[in-house]
Chain A
Amino acid sequence: MWNYLQCKRRDYLYRKLIHPHTPWLLRLAAHRTGNLDVAEDLVQECCLNAWQNLEALRSSQNIRAWLTRVLLNAMADHARTHARRQRLLPITDLEDAHWESIMSEDPGPYECLMATVSNARIAEVLHEIPDDFAMVVLMHDIEGYRYREIAEALSVPIGSVMSRLSRGRRMLGVLLRDPQNDDASGTKRSGLSGKDPA
């Protein structure tokens, strides 16, 4: 009976502390892996881990950041074993293209692009950005995490979060408006580098 009550208490804690964050985690994993079924498996693994650490988690200041960190580790493991093919992006060129466009162009065409571009297209382009930048864009702009929370989840300083978000948005903006990039196969650009130290 005692064990039963203990189990019920843990179930209650799970429902109260972990379950409310599951949709966020699921969306994060789905955006990054591009596959909702894989995302579901990864989030389940993360939730099982959380259930086993409920007591420690209960005293945690920020449960969502803790869960996100566990999920990111699971995603990193998954990426290692399922070697995601990410094409290499010329980051410096993309940033130059961004500067040139804001120097010469009023926001009208950009506004038009944002109004017409499809969700699928955005998801596809987001998938092409290096992980360091894409993850911050996903967490902040799509999932609504605050900078401090992202810093805690990714174990980086807040300054890095700002920098990665800023550069991630720039890259995304350029890739979305780049007609060369309309090809879904994504083979037209070839790489200078796929990762940039932020």
Chain B
Amino acid sequence: MSGANSLDEIKKHAAWIDRITPYLDEELDLAAREETRKHITVCALCERELTRQRLLARRLRTLADRTDIAQRAESIKQRVLSKVHGDMRPATHSNAQTNDLGWLVAGIQTVLLVIVLWGPSHNAEDVPMVEEAYADYQHMNAKDFPLQLGRSTLATLPLPVEPLNNPGARLIGSWQTRLRGQPAAVLAYRVSDHIVLQYVVSEQLFFTPPSVRQAVSKTGFYISKKNRSTIVAWPGRQSGSLLIGDLPRDQLIRLIQS
């Protein structure tokens, strides 16, 4: 093709020229690459095209060096993480510090969670409120649930009812009962194929047993095991709740942590 001397002839040569780009970029397969290499050695036009493209590509590569980009990228990361956590405060720590601190806190909390989940649970018989709630749970499981289900059945209760707010637990009914002679609310949830009951009691009743008070002050909740059932008790804003179900304790705890 070194003898090409008109534009038309060069255009006919376009198929070879088009190969120069992938040849330069090492994107041709071995056979095509070898074929193109041989052609370039005998074609001045393609050799010139290759030289020009190489010069241009090399020059363009220098445009990638922008020192301010890294700083801006870091700032984007801080803003994105602040935004997704709903915290628009400017970050004051370096990335490494924030990372390390976050992992340290997460690690400590994981250890605490493991201790809570696998540590010894309390004996329900020590706490009459828990014992009564468990007896009621067994009693209700052995018979039909009350027919008049619905939140309106709790309207007359003299205590605020704070239901679970976990998408894994669907409220299917509620009714009133009495624990330790005081009014209490019962909320029934479906969790997968299990039914769990939440007993809501007044905060006076909730904080009466010393073992409950101590457990709550240490870990935020009280756990007890009775036969196959797990009982988790935790304080609400103006009341206390006991959640009882035939589920593993970690699964039950997750339900109250949404």
> Which residues on B are within 8 Å of A, measured CB to CB?
4-5, 7, 10-11, 17-18, 20-22, 25, 27, 45, 48-49, 51-53, 55-64, 66, 68-70, 72-73, 75-77, 79-81, 83-85, 95, 99, 102-103, 106, 109-110, 112-113, 254, 257-258
Q: With A1-B109, A11-B81, A102-B48 as given contacts, are A142 and B63 in contact (CB-CB < 8 Å)?
A: yes
Binds B, one of A39-47, A62-70, A79-87, A183-191: A39-47
Q: Which residues of B contact A143 (CB under 8 A)?
A: 64
Kindly list 15 other residue pairs between chains A and B, CB separation below 8 angstroms, not including A47-B77, A102-B49: A11-B102, A15-B95, A26-B76, A40-B76, A43-B76, A44-B80, A48-B83, A103-B45, A107-B48, A123-B63, A137-B60, A142-B60, A146-B27, A165-B25, A169-B57
- A193 interface contact, C-beta 8 A: no
Q: With A1-B257, A43-B76, A44-B79 as given contacts, are A27 and B66 in contact (CB-CB < 8 Å)?
A: yes
CA A159 – CA B112 in complex, angstroms? Answer: 57
CA A1 – CA B63 in complex, angstroms? Answer: 46
> Which residues on A are within 8 Å of B, measured CB to CB?
1-5, 7-8, 10-11, 14-15, 19, 22-23, 26-27, 30-31, 36, 40, 43-44, 47-48, 51-52, 96, 99-100, 102-103, 105-107, 110-111, 114, 117, 119, 122-123, 137, 140-144, 146-147, 162-163, 165-166, 169, 172-173
Interface pair A100/B7, CB less than 8 Å apart: yes
Provide a sorted-by-A list of 30 A–B residue pairs whose CB atoms are within 8 angstroms: A1-B112, A2-B113, A2-B254, A3-B257, A8-B102, A8-B106, A11-B81, A14-B77, A14-B81, A15-B99, A22-B73, A23-B73, A26-B69, A27-B66, A31-B63, A44-B76, A47-B80, A96-B7, A107-B52, A122-B59, A137-B60, A141-B56, A141-B60, A142-B64, A144-B64, A147-B25, A162-B27, A165-B25, A166-B18, A169-B57
Q: Which residues of A contact B53 (CB under 8 A)?
A: 169
Q: With A8-B106, A111-B55, A143-B64 as given contacts, are A166 and B11 in contact (CB-CB < 8 Å)?
A: no
A1: nearest chain-B partner, CB-CB: B109
Q: With A27-B66, A48-B83 as given contacts, are A102 and B73 in contact (CB-CB < 8 Å)?
A: no
Interface pair A114/B56, CB less than 8 Å apart: yes
Interface pair B73/A19, CB less than 8 Å apart: yes
Q: With A162-B18, A173-B52, A173-B56 as given contacts, are A36 and B72 in contact (CB-CB < 8 Å)?
A: yes
Q: Which residues of A contact B52 (CB under 8 A)?
A: 102, 107, 110, 173
Q: Which residues of A contact B11 (CB under 8 A)?
A: 99
Q: Which residues of B contact A106 (CB under 8 A)?
A: 48
Q: Which residues of B contact A22 (CB under 8 A)?
A: 73, 76-77
CA A39 – CA B167 in complex, angstroms? Answer: 38
Interface pair B103/A169, CB less than 8 Å apart: no
Q: Which residues of A contact B63 (CB under 8 A)?
A: 31, 119, 122-123, 142
Q: With A4-B109, A15-B99 as given contacts, are A169 and B21 in contact (CB-CB < 8 Å)?
A: yes
CA A165 – CA B245 in complex, angstroms? Answer: 64
